[in-house]
Chains A and B, each alone.
Chain A
Amino acid sequence: MQPRLDASPRAVPSVTPRILDAVWTPLALTVVAAALAVGTWAAWRAARDQPVILRQLIAAGVVEALLVVQLLVGIGLALAGTTAPDGPTFWGYLVTTLFILPVAAAWAFAERSRWSSVVLLVAALTVAFLQYRILQVWAGA
């Protein structure tokens, strides 16, 4: 269940918030899929005793870009009057999730063993889990 757009008489429904509203859940699911893809790649390399390589960091960068887009969409929706019931938690998650991949990528890349791949795997799973929480908080859970 998604929060509805502000239906007060004074609100002039414009098409932009409706597009953003329709985009919200698919965007979150896209982030989950992308994060799980990065995680699967990292797990594969960890299983083969290989460290993180630059191409994985680029893939993590794509996930990070999606997270930035998500924050901007969230801000756009809030400005249009639609946001999660529990504001502090919602914004806390949206901002916190931005830090995970950059910090983890830097931390992982400095280690030239399989453990760097495990670190990236954990970071990707964390980002995916946070999306699950973001969707829950968005729905008011």
Chain B
Amino acid sequence: MSPTSTRTASGPGRLLVAVYAVLALAATARSTVQVLRDLDEAPLAYLLSAGAAAVYVVATVALAKGWRSVAWVAVSVEMVGVVVVGALSTVAPELFPEATVWSGFGSGYGYVPLVLPVLGLVWLRRTAPLDTVPEG
């Protein structure tokens, strides 16, 4: 196995980081406008958007730099976030009067927020050094 096989940012990983960066940029820019301008309209939704944006930034940097454990945590948080918020926004829409990046399982972003953490987890597992591949 070549040394580059443990790197998270090469080959298909380069694309993964690029798509993560675009999503991080979109989520950060949008939530910045929302928090600065309309925070009192939907504080929970907009603070959640800001938190999600921060997680995307962390995931992008971690994947680009090869910080595997940080990337695992960030991508897992995204996976849980998009599933939980997606479900909540479906059964209790009054919680999120304004759309967040995770509302409707990321439908406002073409479901990229739902697909990306899955790809991220798969990629982290595939690039893991042999002795650290988790069970399952």
Could you list which residues of chain A lie within 8 angstroms of chain B, going by C-beta atoms? Answer: 88-89, 92-93, 96, 99-100, 103-104, 107-108, 111, 113, 115-116, 118-119, 122-123, 126
Instruction: Mark out the residues of chain B between 1 and 55 whose CB falls within 8 Å of any chain A CB in the assembled complex.
Output: 10-15, 17-19, 21-22, 25, 29-30, 32-33, 36-37
**Interface SS of chain A:** helix
A115/B33 contact (C-beta < 8 A), A96-B25, A103-B21, A126-B22 known: no
Contacts of B11 in A (CB 8 A): 111, 113, 115
B18 lies within 8 A of A119 (CB): yes
Return 14 A-B CB contacts under 8 Å, by A number.
A92-B29, A96-B25, A96-B29, A99-B25, A108-B18, A111-B14, A113-B10, A113-B11, A113-B14, A115-B14, A115-B15, A118-B15, A122-B15, A123-B22
B33 lies within 8 A of A116 (CB): no
The smallest beta-carbon distance between A99 and chain B, in angstroms, is 7
Cα(A115)–Cα(B11), bound, Å: 6
A107 lies within 8 A of B18 (CB): yes
Contacts of B37 in A (CB 8 A): 88
Contacts of A118 in B (CB 8 A): 15
Cα(A123)–Cα(B17), bound, Å: 12
The smallest beta-carbon distance between B64 and chain A, in angstroms, is 8
Name A133's closest neighbour in chain B (CB-CB).
B26
Name A92's closest neighbour in chain B (CB-CB).
B29
The smallest beta-carbon distance between A29 and chain B, in angstroms, is 22
B18 lies within 8 A of A123 (CB): yes
Name B13's closest neighbour in chain A (CB-CB).
A115
A119/B15 contact (C-beta < 8 A), A89-B33, A111-B10 known: yes
The smallest beta-carbon distance between B56 and chain A, in angstroms, is 14
The smallest beta-carbon distance between B60 and chain A, in angstroms, is 11
The smallest beta-carbon distance between A34 and chain B, in angstroms, is 19
Contacts of A99 in B (CB 8 A): 25
Cα(A100)–Cα(B23), bound, Å: 12
Contacts of A88 in B (CB 8 A): 33, 36-37
The smallest beta-carbon distance between A57 and chain B, in angstroms, is 15
The smallest beta-carbon distance between B73 and chain A, in angstroms, is 23
A116 lies within 8 A of B22 (CB): no
